[in-house]
Amino acid sequence: MKAGVVIFPGSNCDYDIISALKIFDFDIKILWHKDKNLKNCDIIFLPGGFSYGDYLRGGAIARFSPIMEEIINFANKGKPVIGICNGFQILCEANLLPGTLLVNNNSRFICKNVYIKVINNNTLITKKIHENMILKIPIAHSQGKYFVDSSTLSEMYKNEQVIFKYCDNFGNITENSNPNGSIDNIAGICNKEKNVFGMMPHPERAVFDFLFNTDGKLIFESIIFYLK
């Protein structure tokens, strides 16, 4: 399976994803933001970081990189695209996912482990995870507050597009367990067609034993299971 990892100026989690994908024996293709060829990849990852310095908004400039036209066409053909953190922001800016990511409620950069609950386990990234399972996954962002208007949010629930919600270590979804102020504690979503995914937590940073957290492996194992 060929996995493309897109690198924008300012990406800094690209090699985190590459290192994680190597564990699962993906054939990894590095895709530069100016490329116009996706190298016959089966799945595309947009990594975290600060593409173009997060000027204007996170992902607002990267959305116009030449490679994004190819990624939009790729997604519109039903092929899988996954955006993590800044990658999530880019996918929202490109209108491949609904909503937007705003500045955290505390106006600060937040870097810590959080807990997320699996709301929908019938997707490419959750197929090997039990519904309502609690995962410990790190976050690292200053613009991670997911927002969408109420009518779109209703449609998202109707279409089962909400995948992860922030919770505490017991699975309680509360205001205190919401690190950034995201609407309804939302941490990860997909499009209506369920082939484009975005999440603010970093599963690629939770796959190695030496980090004392391997919950992120379940997400990559789900991807492999689905693609096979």
What amino acid occupies position 206?
A
Catalytic residue among 85, 92, 167, 190: 85
d(CA 228, CA 1): 9
SS3 letters across 112-158: EEEEEEECCCCCCCCCCCCCCCEEEEEEEECCCEEECCHHHHHHHHH
Annotation says 85 is catalytic: yes
Annotation says 141 is catalytic: no
Annotation says 204 is catalytic: yes
Contact between 39 and 1 under an 8 Å Cβ cutoff? The reply is no
What amino acid occupies position 49?
G
What amino acid occupies position 147?
F
Contact between 16 and 40 under an 8 Å Cβ cutoff? The reply is no
Catalytic residue among 70, 92, 93, 204: 204
CA nearest 117: which of 76, 177, 53?
A: 177
Catalytic residue set:
85, 202, 204
